[in-house]
């Protein structure tokens, strides 16, 4: 599943913290600039089960605003 508009400061582990609540994750790939390695602000999340991807999409699509890294610990505790 393609995910856009994630904070550019996030790495795979920070993305995992948000998305694993919907199901077991097979892989996460944060897209990075080839020249400098910086995040492009998007990623691919692959779940083992289609239902988990659909649940994540339904819960987050156009509904949830992703926090900045400084807000993440407060956000993830919800």
In CATH, what number is assigned to the domain containing residue 40? 3.30.70.330
The per-residue pLDDT for 75 is 43
**pTM recorded for the entire structure:** 0.77
The per-residue pLDDT for 76 is 42
pLDDT digits (tens, 9 = 90+) for 53-64: 999 999 988 765
Task: Reply yes or no on whether the pLDDT at 71 is more than 60.
Answer: no
d(CA 20, CA 33): 25
Domain count within the chain: 1
Range of the domain at 23: 2-76
The per-residue pLDDT for 5 is 87
Residues 10, 13, 17, 19, Cα dihedral to 10°: 80
């Amino acid at each position: 599943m393609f995910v856009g508009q994630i904070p550019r400061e996030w790495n795979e582990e920070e993305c995992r913290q948000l998305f694993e609540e919907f199901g077991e994750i097979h892989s996460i790939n944060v897209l990075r600039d080839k020249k400098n390695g910086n995040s492009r602000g998007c990623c691919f999340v692959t779940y083992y089960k289609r239902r988990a991807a659909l649940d994540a999409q339904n819960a987050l699509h156009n509904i949830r605003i992703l926090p900045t890294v400084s807000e993440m610990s407060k956000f993830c505790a919800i």
